A and B are shown apart, each in its own frame.
Chain A
């Protein structure tokens, strides 16, 4: 069996819950799972030290890890990571890191894995219109989509070592541009509510924002909405030329379900569609479909959800 090394996924200075999913995936690919935690505060690792299936935790401590630089992170992580198959999250930043780490070790990388069977890896291709299964020989680097594998439960006790890491940072941040809105980004959210041109006007997105606030969700948009209204920024766009998302729940409001949009959200765990047109293609992908105008459906949804929270 292969050694596996999980690179912990970080989010705002702490370990992202998807790391436990990566540990589950690691157990399907080999034994003796080591978790490497890139951070500049070693207490960050405490939250995973009792996760089942982890034999060793290496805390890679460096100032480098306060801000992402592809070359710096890859060289610093490489310097503390033992040989084996490396597993990362398939977030945009971690896919970039996975590609760098693989190239650094002259290994191949398989991105966006959603299923592992007998060592074979399956990922969506052609924007999710097909699935591709590959076999690998030797060590590889694998990135894993969020919300697909069950998290590894608690019940282990791993040995923790802290190593000071250093790497070759090449780029320099000149200025941070704060996000236009303080809202959660669609690429980080577990629940997303998106609006399309069927919302009628960008002002009506406030109705989506209210539900988003109730659920702790992010607000997204279709390409049609982004292209039509200047007030809906491209950063909200879900789809082929926007963001690919994989939340637990995706609520599509006034979105017809063009191929371009489906490409970005079809792998969501649950999909709710609200559209006044019963023939809208989005309904073929919805777990729960409501044929109604948003004006009729959203207030009811809002009050029902509020009552549950």
Chain B
């Protein structure tokens, strides 16, 4: 019986427009969804459980509004859903401290998460937690296999490698060829009724604070040409103006 955890995060739908008001991003009118790579993490966690037996617990850190992603995970098939109640800004060290103490207190053996969250894009949480816990980790995996010795496929030395990973371990998931299952009606109904296990936490101090958020600087308008023949002019500009060729 393997105790498996999957970390999920609520982020703005990646197709949504980002609006700035004042000095920060305004997410009030943006649809929030599960971060895309976390869907692969949930899928790998469920497959792990299906091949060795055990339970999958989805964990998120956030306020009550973050529970939607837990319900989404429940609808796909996780067993338990946990929200660590903390709505304030956390830097990487603070977030990892909270998650790693919860993971070790609860006795999880394998932790899956997305390779990065679609909002920060940082990808620090998985390897950081592994280091906090003193566990093995492999990042950006595209396949996992838990029958027999636990192995994953991940990029290595300009190619890919099948890597054997000792448990306990943290695995961060890339897209790969893994097909993600979709919730069915029964799952959605169960998720509606499911209880979220809300845990409190001590919020450690953050050494990083956000000064401001802004839109990226507008790119100067480019040069437009009509017709395929103009490709020779563009090639010349790449050499003479951009100094690239």
B82 within 8 A of A: no
**Which B positions have Cβ atoms within 8 angstroms of A?**
12, 14-15, 17-18, 20, 25, 36-37, 91-94, 96, 118-132, 135-140, 142, 151, 153, 155-166, 169, 175-177, 206-216, 219, 222-232, 234-239, 242, 244-245
> In whole angstroms, what is the CA distance A111 to B159 when docked?
24
> In whole angstroms, what is the CA distance A112 to B124 when docked?
11
Residues B139 and A96 in contact, CB atoms below 8 Å apart: yes
**Residues of chain B lying within 8 A (CB to CB) of residue A200:** none
**Residues of chain A lying within 8 A (CB to CB) of residue B216:** 124, 128-131, 266
- Tell which of B17, B207, B228 touches A292, judged by Cβ atoms closer than 8 Å: B228
Residues 125-173 of A contacting B (Cβ, < 8 Å): 125-138, 140, 170-173
Residues A103 and B166 in contact, CB atoms below 8 Å apart: no
Given known pairs A112-B121, A173-B161, A301-B235, the reply for A71 and B222 (CB within 8 Å) is no
Residues A286 and B222 in contact, CB atoms below 8 Å apart: yes
- Tell which of A12, A111, A286 touches B121, judged by Cβ atoms closer than 8 Å: A111
A206 within 8 A of B: no
Lowest 3 CB-CB distances: which A-B pairs, in order? Answer: A296-B228, A170-B136, A103-B131
The binding surface of chain A is classed by DSSP as mixed
Residue of A nearest to B40 (CB): A241
Residues B231 and A298 in contact, CB atoms below 8 Å apart: yes
Residues A240 and B238 in contact, CB atoms below 8 Å apart: no
> In whole angstroms, what is the CA distance A178 to B160 when docked?
7
> In whole angstroms, what is the CA distance A108 to B128 when docked?
10
For the complex, count residues of A whose C-beta is within 8 A of B: 97
Residues B128 and A109 in contact, CB atoms below 8 Å apart: yes
**Residues of chain A lying within 8 A (CB to CB) of residue B161:** 173-177
**Which A positions have Cβ atoms within 8 angstroms of B?**
12, 67-68, 70-71, 74, 92-93, 95-100, 102-104, 106-112, 120, 123-138, 140, 170-179, 185, 188, 191, 215, 234, 237, 240-242, 244, 248-249, 259-260, 263, 266, 269-272, 274, 278, 283-293, 295-301, 303-305, 308-309
Residues A95 and B137 in contact, CB atoms below 8 Å apart: no
- Tell which of B136, B156, B208, B231 touches A176, judged by Cβ atoms closer than 8 Å: B156
Give me 19 other A-B pairs in contact (C-beta within 8 A), A174-B151, A240-B36 excluded: A71-B136, A99-B128, A100-B130, A103-B92, A103-B127, A125-B25, A129-B18, A130-B25, A132-B210, A173-B161, A173-B162, A237-B175, A249-B238, A269-B244, A283-B222, A287-B222, A290-B234, A301-B234, A304-B235
**Residues of chain B lying within 8 A (CB to CB) of residue A242:** 175
- Tell which of A102, A129, A177 touches B159, judged by Cβ atoms closer than 8 Å: A177
